[in-house]
A and B are shown apart, each in its own frame.
Chain A
Amino acid sequence: MSESIPRAWREAKYRERLIGSKCSKCGAVRYPPRIICPKCHSEESEEVQLPRVGKLVSYTIIRKGPNEFKGQEPYAVGLIDLVNGVRVLSQLTDLSLGDIRLGMELEATLRRYREDSDEGIILYGIKFRPSLARKQV
């Protein structure tokens, strides 16, 4: 299925800039953003920039991916707890698959996810890489 341009466009901001929603009533932060807060059911929220650093909670190595990722395998996908406690799912990049460790510090970086086809659109999003900032400290 070729990717619809408006479909990719309307999610791009949240995928590429890691923007979530914060409930105006109870303060719960969600990613991806929601219309209704699942905690207090408030319909009022604002968009917030999520922190770009976190820790690896779990991961897997995809040996056989969905159609659109054919040829990219093997690649790593992980669950990352950001420093504000929000959990995100992302590909891991800039590391050897054998070096992945639970609890490692990671940071967000904008990367290409896939090309729809030779003539189709290119989809970008956030991937997480070993934290450079933390290493220097």
Chain B
Amino acid sequence: MVEVGERWDESLMSLSVRASLPALESAKAGSPQAVFFSNMMSGRLQVQDHLGTFLADQLGEAGIAALRIEAACASGGAAFHAGYSAVAAGLYDTVLVLGAEKMSDSSTEEVTTALMTAEDREYTGFVGVSFVGLNAMVHRLYAERYGLSEQQMAALSVLCHENGVNNPYAQFRKKVSLEDVLQSPYIADPIRLLMAAPMSDGAAAVVITSEEKARKAHVPHVRVLASRIGTDAFRLYEREDLTTLRSVRRAAEAAFAETGKGPSDMDVIEVHDAFTIVGYAALEALGVSEAGKSPLMVERGDFSLGRKPTVNTMGGLKARGHPIGGTGIYQIAEVFLQLTGQAGKNQVDRAKLGAAVNIGGVGTTSALTILEGVEQ
């Protein structure tokens, strides 16, 4: 992965190449047979599509299978799912999954417009609601329903910034206080600026191989226990229950049934806190908290470093940053670092199992990845 931030001196493709090289080198698996490129908005923000083959070519691998996967902010988890499925099916034994987004090439209005393509243009985008506005309506309902204070709704931002301090790849490596969050301006009431992930440039990559190939490479690696995608009604307002992330719940039910593991088995969880409300609802849908209780648990420190599960160990979307198409791969790479003992100052002791929850739309598409550490 590359450092997330406003990378004025790098292009979408140069970031992608820089993220791919160390992933391929450290995997020692040789040339990939296929590239899966995760990205959401390059067609609008860079006026550039056809990214899969573009990257394969820039890596000196023109000729191999290459394609791009899009599922809004869940593009990364979706691309991982595609790459994993292809290897699990026996089609390839080495694939590169790369996720990238470059948002600093465009104005805030352009990005706001582009992000809304995650929802229905004709009947949602039409009324002028922004993506943060949709989440704000869920935030209001959720806080109202469970009687949560603004402080509680802000607590996750504080936790993420604490953990982001020690992540060399994070966009923000500094703490914020509860007061900082509560004094930041509204961007769509009741969501304030510091309850939202920033706009970011970034790229992250992972290599997926067959088990046999991984064993022979003698490099740090993890086992993919599950990669599942769940979806929900496309338009937010057509859902019966607006504060439950059924897409996450569906992916979790499938993944836990497949692995025989449960939410309490997870040592680390990287959750999609594009807004604090999404992070809270995802933790609840995953089953680590009852409905309406996760803000209290974050406030109490139940998910901080030293506790199980540790949540957003490397800063989450809020502090690491949220390069849309890259985010899901950053999450998986961060769980990988934890399970292979390479997470530096934020290393979680004896981390064996980890989950990454990557969410697109307002909980419309969710990709859950469960990884297990392997004795090297």
Contact = CB atoms under 8 A, between A and B. Distances in A.
Interface of A: 11, 15, 30-32, 38, 57-70, 72, 75, 77-79, 87-91, 102, 113-114, 123, 125
Greatest chain B CB density within 10 A among A11, A57, A61, A65 is at A65
B127 A58 contact: no
6 contacts: A30-B238, A58-B138, A63-B188, A78-B137, A89-B235, A90-B127
B141 interface: yes
Greatest chain A CB density within 10 A among B125, B126, B190 is at B126
A66 B140 contact: no
Contacts of B236: 89
A78 B136 CA distance: 10
Interface stretch (B50-58, B116-124, B161-169): B116-124
Contacts of A68: 113, 128
A17 to B, nearest CB: 14
A125 B127 contact: yes
Contacts of A88: 237
A115 B208 CA distance: 49
A67 B127 contact: no
A77 B242 contact: no
Nearest to A60: B136
B16 interface: no
Nearest to A87: B237
What's the dominant secondary structure at chain B's contact region? Answer: helix
B108 A64 contact: yes
Contacts of A64: 108-109, 112, 130, 187-188
B341 interface: no
Interface of B: 108-110, 112-113, 116, 122-130, 133-134, 136-138, 140-141, 144, 185-191, 233, 235-238, 242
Contacts of B123: 11, 15, 31-32, 89
Contacts of B130: 62, 64-66
Given A68-B113, A70-B109, A77 B133 contact: yes
B154 to A, nearest CB: 17
Nearest to A66: B113
A74 B180 CA distance: 23
Nearest to B235: A89
Nearest to B119: A89
Q: Which 10 A/B pairs are nearest by Cβ-Cβ distance?
A: A60-B136, A69-B128, A58-B137, A66-B113, A61-B189, A77-B129, A60-B133, A67-B113, A58-B141, A60-B188
A67 B235 CA distance: 21
A57 B128 contact: no
Greatest chain A CB density within 10 A among B133, B134, B144, B235 is at B133
